[in-house]
Amino acid sequence: MSRTLGNPTAAGTGAPEFLVTSGLLDAISPSGDRGGMVLGCGANDEPLSVSVLRPQPTRLVLVSGLYLARQVSLRAMATGAWVVVATGRPDAWQQLSRAAGEGPDGRPAPLVQVRRLGPVELPRASEDAPLLVVHDGGAVPQELFPPRSAWQTTLYVLPYLHPQAESTAVNADLVLLQRLPAAQAELAAGMWRLPPPMAKALTALTDDGVVALGPDLWLSLRLVTTPAEREILGPVRRGD
């Protein structure tokens, strides 16, 4: 069974529709609520979700490798979000384009757009068609796509923490951190005023371990990857 989604840039104009394959829908865990995304599980294997797509403009930072960024993007796609990826390494994101499948005309479904780094016109975000803009531009990203509208989330993919990216990191609504070297953990402690036990915990995360950090939030979880996701992304890993 395929899911049909309309074009959010042409609401009410009778724009053609495109199909999302059932394989893509099967690739993710069910979302906990509108905009909520099951990312992993806790110490007792209970599912844990994060709020990625929200009615407020949202800034999300991932200090990690490509795997986690692509997994979040894939799950956003399967919940009905449009995904625009601005990147200096477009070949690394082609799995998402292939996962989105083809429309009725045989062309790649426009649900995901992989573009070079640079300003582009974005689809209009709405509750029925939220927008995830992925900025994969290195450790010190430029503000090309700041979240300005409801149901738009800008995700900054940082391969590592850099002092010049402190403003981007500390002003995020949500930060997802994978294991950090000791020096990076010290930098994180300074940015977010983490006590020594939390900073040390960042150096001891497993390859599938993630810490979700936000205002009054410290949530440790284990990534869960479905068999269908593994076919698209491979096994859980850190790094690029």
Tell me the backbone φ, ψ of residue 192, rounded to 5 degrees: -110, 10
Q: Which CATH number fits domain 19-223: 3.40.50.80, 3.10.580.10, 3.40.50.300, 3.30.70.270?
A: 3.40.50.300
Q: What is the pLDDT of residue 236?
A: 82
Give 100 or 131, the one with higher predicted confidence: 131
Q: What is the pLDDT of residues 15-27, one digit of tens each?
A: 333 334 444 434 4
| Out of 65-74, 206-215, 231-240, least confident range | 231-240
Q: What is the pLDDT of residues 71-109, one digit of tens each?
A: 999 989 888 899 999 999 999 998 888 887 766 777 766
**Helix (H), strand (E) counts: the chain:** 7, 12
pLDDT band at 240 (very low <50, low <70, confident <90, very high): low
Q: What is the pLDDT of residue 18?
A: 34
Amino acid letter for position 111: L
Torsion of CA 10, 14, 19, 25, to 10 degrees: 60
Tell if the pTM clears 0.85, that is, is over it.
no
Say how far apart CA 205 and CA 179 lie, in whole Å. 5
Buried/exposed 52-89: b ≥16 CB within 10 Å, e otherwise: bbbeebbbbbbbbbbbbbbbbbbbbbbbbbbbbbbbee
Say how far apart CA 125 and CA 34 lie, in whole Å. 14
Say how far apart CA 178 and CA 164 lie, in whole Å. 20
